[in-house]
Amino acid sequence: PVFEDPRGLYISTVYSRYAVLHVKSFTVPPSCAPLRTSEAVGLLHRQKCFATKRYDLKIVRKWGNYELIVLDSRQRREVERFPVRYLRSPKTISCGRNQLSNLFMFTVEAHSFGNNTPVSHELHIFKVSRSLTETNQHDDFRHRKAFELREHYMIHGS
């Protein structure tokens, strides 16, 4: 659904934050097509165990653009930063197995950033544990509307 916000009430530097486990990142050379999410899920199903690391994902609005920031949960330092406009095929899926439920996946194509990075196609997979945002009704409504706006931005790019 398209979310219109004529007064700019939901556009701010306030961010959403999520506790996640990094499940896997797949890289593919730029000479090949990026890995599809269905292929990545198939590869995950063949794995018997996962070495995961805890991170926080936060979504911020900076200079009119949204960014997805990966933070180390323990050291509170930034690990990676992805401008949302460069994320391809962002999806949330549940594969049935407990380890593979509530997954957030996205692809970053090789050389898509302004500085010619990343050097290969990357498909990142995170298991979303929980939202770290406040839970009162007003904030739930505000974050739901902000999510709709981000979803629109991811799909339509504006």
Q: Does residue 6 lie in a domain region?
A: no
At 2 the pLDDT is 41
Q: Give CA–CA dist 96/143, Å, rounded.
A: 27
Q: Does residue 1 lie in a domain region?
A: no
Check if the beta carbon of residue 24 is closer than 8 Å to that of residue 31.
no
Q: Does residue 2 lie in a domain region?
A: no
Report the CATH number at residue 99: 2.30.29.30
Q: What is the DSSP letter of 152?
A: H
| Structure tokens belonging to residue 85 | 């406009």
Using omega within 30 degrees of 0 as the cis cutoff, is the peptide bond preceding 29 cis? no
Q: Does residue 128 lie in a domain region?
A: yes
The type of residue at 118 is P
The number of domains in the chain is 1
pLDDT tens, the chain, 158 aa long: 344 444 444 444 546 788 899 999 999 999 999 999 889 888 888 887 778 899 999 888 877 788 899 999 888 899 998 888 888 888 888 766 666 778 899 999 989 887 888 999 999 999 988 655 433 344 445 555 555 556 555 555 55
Q: Does residue 101 lie in a domain region?
A: yes
* Number of Cα atoms under 13 Å in the Cβ half of residue 147: 12
Burial of 57 (0-12, 13-18, 19+ CB in 10 A): buried
Polymer length in residues for the chain = 158
- 85 backbone dihedrals φ, ψ, rounded to 5°: -65, -15
Burial of 1 (0-12, 13-18, 19+ CB in 10 A): exposed
At 73 the pLDDT is 85
Q: Does residue 3 lie in a domain region?
A: no
* Range of the structural domain that residue 58 is part of: 16-156
